[in-house]
Every structure is written in structure tokens, then in C-alpha cells.
Copies of this chain bind each other. A is one copy, B any other.
Amino acid sequence: MEGSRQIDDRSAARQRADAIYEEIRNRICTNRYPPETALHEVELATEFSVSRTPMRRVLSMLEHDDLVTARHGVGTIVTAVEPERLVEVYTVRMILAQAAGDYFRLPFPPESIQRLLEVREVFLGLDEGDVIGFGDANLQYYLPVIDLIENGCLREMHRTLFYQTTRMWLLSLPTMPWAETMAAVADELEELVRVIKLEDPIGLGLVMRNHIFMSRRRVLAGLGIAPGDPRNPV
């Protein structure tokens, strides 16, 4: 019995805090809490059945990750990412994705192909304008792919930067033609499945890099910055 709560070395408090942290982070990264949303400590504390103290700890972690910013007397606000910053983060994601080619865990687990094909169907079955549904599917799409990376540090950086950018990508989604975008994402997933089947890690890194490049272009265009602008480099 005691084994079930002590399988990891984190204290019970830390585990609870981490669980709440991940939940709120997911809400931010699926645009359930879009940028500029004000989170309220008491409200969240009530929802998660804790007091303000541990909830503040969680929000402070999210603030350290630049996902929210606490403003005295106002609230804890979900941050937006400025286009200049967005380009920088996407650029680093491209670097890391290409570099990841040398650091995948091989062979690729066969179930990852099945999972990607399932997520593909989810994307194609989304109602037009269902940004949150898209956000959920997007998490189910990226995170398992990132988990293919063997180098733990590289994996964490990928995840961190993904969490930093994805809410802006969702924000720009409504400015784009829905069906076309879903088709493009579905194609991306097919392309991933293809290189995974070939057991070609370098290819996988390059494909990821190219998808991030296209994301970068799309999200900046969606924010009104045309390709070719210094803030949307080619």
C-alpha cells in the first residue's frame, strides 16, 4: 500500500503541487485560459481544494516559466508572447529539432505510429473554430513525439519551448482557413509517420524542424506580420 504513494521520491506536497501546475499549464497551452486571462488565487485554490499558500507556489512556478505574470492588486495574468520573442523561441525550437536527429531513442516504439494516426483523425474530426479541441489534440501530437528524444535535457528544453509558444499559435488559429489548416496538420502527421516507419532519426529531426518552420511562418502571419518582414524571416 505505502508503495503506491512512495514510488517516486517527491514529497506528497510536491506531487500535489506538480499535478496542479501541470493542469493549469495545460489549460493555458490549450487556450482554456488564453493570454490576458486573469487567474485568481482563491478561486483556483477552492477548485483544487488547497489553500492560497500552495496555490501561490504553483502560480509562482508558472510565473518563473513566463506563462503568467502576477500583478499586485490586479490578478495573475496569462501572458502573451511578443512577436519578436516568438520568432526567437521558434528559431531555437528549429535548432533543437534538427539537432535532436542524433539523439532519438531507437527503435521507435511501434505504438507511436498508431497514436499519431489516431490524433490525425481527431484533427480532421474537429468542429470548425474549436480552438480548445485543437489545443488538446496539439498536446497529444507534440508531446509523444518529443518523448522519442532520448537525451533528457534536450527533451525538457523542447517541451519547455513548446509550452511557451503554443498558446500564441492557437491564438492565431482563427485568422486562418480552418479546413486548409487541418489538412496541413494531417499531412504533417502523415509525414511524421512515414519517417518513423523508415526508422530514420535524422529525417525525423529534419521533418520536425520543417514543421516548426511552417508553424513559425503561419503564426506570425496570423499575428499580422508578413513573411519577409525581419520579424518573420525566411
Task: Tell me if A's interface is mostly helix, strand, loop or mixed.
Answer: helix
**A73-87 interface code vs B (CB 8 A; 1 in, 0 out):** 000000000000100
Interface residue A112 (Cβ < 8 Å from any Cβ of B): no
Q: Which residue of B lies closest to A165 (CB)?
A: B153
Asked whether, in the complex, the Cβ of A11 is within 8 Å of the Cβ of B71, the reply is yes
Query: A60 near B: Cβ within 8 Å?
Result: yes
Interface residues of A in 54-74 (CB under 8 A from B): 56-57, 60-61, 64-65, 70-72
Residues on B with beta carbons closer than 8 Å to the beta carbon of A14: 70
Determine if A92 and B151 form an interchain contact, defined as CB atoms under 8 angstroms apart: yes
8 residue pairs, one from A and one from B, having the closest CB atoms: A88-B153, A95-B99, A92-B153, A89-B153, A88-B151, A11-B72, A61-B64, A92-B154
New A-B pairs, 20, CB < 8 Å, besides A14-B70, A92-B151, A95-B99 = A11-B70, A11-B71, A13-B72, A56-B57, A57-B60, A60-B60, A64-B65, A85-B152, A88-B153, A88-B154, A89-B153, A91-B151, A91-B154, A92-B153, A92-B154, A92-B157, A95-B95, A95-B96, A153-B161, A157-B157
